[in-house]
């Protein structure tokens, strides 16, 4: 049982949707889709981070362009834009969600619950500024993929890793909201809007606490977890493969496959190999039993597979996403997409240093 499998892994030939992919720039769209195909991913959901005049204003535009170029393969979850015409208001954030849906977004991605974003944006997740947004998302049934909190070790001076510190994810200086406080904000939102359809990214950072994960899913029947790796997730799962096999089987309708893949702009042969290796590791974990070589430093030689049955895998790889989001991506509406892009570009026209590309949907290419 402790021997590391050395035979090449061959994934089962099952349709696979990646619910959690980032697009860093419009000029790597084809690279990204090629990488996904090499990894055996048939359909890709591009998730956009929240924008502001200081950051990531063009994420939605790039995702719209990817959907235009790959209309049958690309879903996209748009991101809200803050301070676009002044301080954010409840009416503006609701209006943005309405326009994103009209433009063809399949959902909305919220990074607002990650401590760095939470600190930068300045709103609690249960702030009244989100009331109109949550109300629209609940009534329309439009799903949300939400990153909330981070691994508990990021708040512990004795445990936060050098890699987390280098990434700016050391939350020990007292200027970031506490982990349990952010979870409390989510509880308030779900009490107020119980029919919201939310996928909590990275297993809601509960891979160390099976009992808490089970209780949360039981209390909130409209939420799901994605399996997008955090640095700690698959190492934690490997501590109790039999228990997690039973958990994944019990909650097989609430788990969704995702990777956090992206195509970097710099020479990326090594990084692209890492992306495909990540998919291999995730699928080997889900499809086989025994110990095998993992992905990255955190799990490199410490992954124990849980060997799920094929009907469960079919739901995790594609069925649950299709039920939540749709069998096919929503069609793109060029007029509404361009209206959003033009508003963003106009808000930033006084700061050409950001160098936002003037993307237009529907233009000849």
User: Which SS3 state, helix, strand or coil, does residue 66 take?
Assistant: helix
359 vs 114, residue with greater confidence: 114
Phi, psi (5° rounding) for residue 349?
-65, -20
Q: Are 265 and 28 in contact (CB under 8 A)?
A: yes
Per-residue pLDDT tens over the stretch 63-113: 999 999 999 999 999 999 988 878 899 999 999 999 999 999 999 999 999
Q: Would you state the structure tokens that stand for residue 360, as one six-digit string?
A: 């237009």
What pLDDT was estimated at residue 275? Answer: 83
In terms of C-beta distances under 8 Å and separation of at least 24 residues, what long-range contacts does 27-32 make, across chains too? 27/265, 28/263, 28/264, 28/265, 29/62, 29/65, 29/66, 29/69, 29/70, 29/263, 30/69, 31/263, 31/268, 31/272, 32/66, 32/261, 32/262, 32/263
What pLDDT was estimated at residue 298? Answer: 65
What pLDDT was estimated at residue 54? Answer: 56
| pLDDT bracket for residue 51 (50, 70, 90) | confident
Hey, what's the torsion of the CAs at 119, 153, 161, 164, to 10 degrees?
Answer: -30
Angle between helices 269-287 and 29-38 (to 10 degrees): 40
Q: Would you state the structure tokens that stand for residue 165, as one six-digit string?
A: 């510190």
User: Which SS3 state, helix, strand or coil, does residue 199 take?
Assistant: strand
What pLDDT was estimated at residue 294? Answer: 84
What pLDDT was estimated at residue 58? Answer: 76
Residue 349 has pLDDT above 50, yes or no: no
Task: Tell me the whole-structure pTM to 2 decimals.
Answer: 0.94
Q: How many other C-beta atoms are found inside a 10 Å radius of the C-beta of residue 94?
A: 19
- The vertex-152 CA angle with 264 and 196, nearest 5°, equals 75
Q: Give the C-alpha distances (Å, rounded to integers) separating 215 from 120, 210, 212, 246.
A: 31, 9, 5, 15
DSSP sequence for 288-313: -EEEE--SHHHHTT-EEEE---HHHH
What pLDDT was estimated at residue 344? Answer: 84
Per-residue pLDDT tens over the stretch 145-187: 999 999 999 999 999 989 899 999 999 999 999 999 999 999 9
Mean per-residue pLDDT, 193-205:
98
Per-residue pLDDT tens over the stretch 304-325: 999 999 999 999 999 999 999 9
What pLDDT was estimated at residue 314? Answer: 98
Of 237, 230, 180, 190, the residue nearest 210 (C-alpha): 237
**Displacement of CA 67 from its chain's centroid (Å):** 17
Per-residue pLDDT tens over the stretch 254-291: 999 999 998 876 655 555 667 888 999 999 999 999 99
Mean per-residue pLDDT, 342-364:
69
What pLDDT was estimated at residue 347? Answer: 75
Mean per-residue pLDDT, 2-14:
76
Q: pLDDT exceeding 70 applies to what percent of the chain?
A: 90
Residue 3 has pLDDT above 70, yes or no: no
| pLDDT bracket for residue 354 (50, 70, 90) | low
| pLDDT bracket for residue 18 (50, 70, 90) | very high
Under CATH, which number does the domain 14-352 receive? 3.20.20.140
Tell me whether strands 17-21 and 107-113 are parallel, antiparallel or unpaired. Answer: unpaired
21-30, 250-259, 327-336, 356-365: the lowest-pLDDT one: 356-365
Per-residue pLDDT tens over the stretch 221-234: 999 999 999 878 99
| pLDDT bracket for residue 1 (50, 70, 90) | very low
Average pLDDT over the chain reads 90
Alpha-carbon distance 97 to 40, whole Å?
A: 32
What pLDDT was estimated at residue 364? Answer: 45
């Amino acid at each position: 049982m402790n021997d590391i499998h050395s035979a090449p892994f061959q994934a089962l030939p099952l349709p696979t949707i990646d619910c959690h992919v980032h697009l860093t720039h419009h000029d790597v769209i084809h690279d990204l889709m090629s990488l996904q195909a090499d990894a055996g991913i048939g359909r890709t959901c591009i998730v956009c981070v929240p924008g502001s005049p200081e950051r990531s204003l063009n994420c939605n535009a790039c995702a719209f362009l990817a959907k235009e170029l790959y209309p049958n393969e690309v879903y996209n979850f748009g991101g809200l834009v803050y301070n676009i015409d002044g301080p954010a208001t409840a009416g503006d954030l609701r209006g943005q969600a309405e326009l994103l849906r009209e433009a063809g977004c399949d959902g909305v991605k919220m990074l607002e619950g990650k401590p760095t974003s939470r600190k930068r944006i300045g709103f609690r997740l249960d702030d009244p500024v989100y009331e109109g947004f949550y109300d629209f998302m609940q009534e329309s049934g439009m799903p949300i993929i939400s990153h909330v909190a981070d691994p508990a070790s990021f708040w512990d001076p004795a445990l936060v890793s050098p890699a987390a510190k280098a990434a700016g994810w050391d939350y020990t200086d007292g200027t970031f909201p506490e982990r349990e406080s952010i979870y409390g904000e989510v509880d308030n939102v779900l009490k107020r809007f119980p029919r919201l359809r939310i996928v909590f990214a990275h297993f809601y950072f509960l891979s160390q606490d099976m009992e808490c994960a089970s209780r949360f899913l039981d209390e909130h029947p409209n939420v799901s977890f994605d399996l997008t790796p955090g640095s700690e997730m698959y190492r934690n799962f490997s501590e109790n493969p039999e228990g997690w096999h039973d958990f994944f089987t019990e909650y097989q309708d609430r788990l969704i496959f995702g990777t956090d893949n992206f195509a970097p702009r710099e020479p990326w042969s090594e990084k692209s190999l890492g992306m495909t290796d990540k998919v291999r590791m995730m699928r080997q974990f889900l499809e086989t039993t025994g110990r095998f070589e993992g992905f990255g430093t955190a799990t490199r030689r410490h992954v124990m597979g849980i060997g799920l049955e094929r009907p469960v895998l079919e739901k995790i790889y594609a069925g649950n996403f299709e039920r939540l989001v749709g069998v096919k991506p929503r069609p793109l509406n060029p007029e509404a997409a361009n209206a959003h892009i033009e508003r963003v570009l106009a808000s930033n026209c006084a700061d050409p240093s950001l160098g936002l590309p003037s993307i237009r949907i529907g233009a000849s290419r």
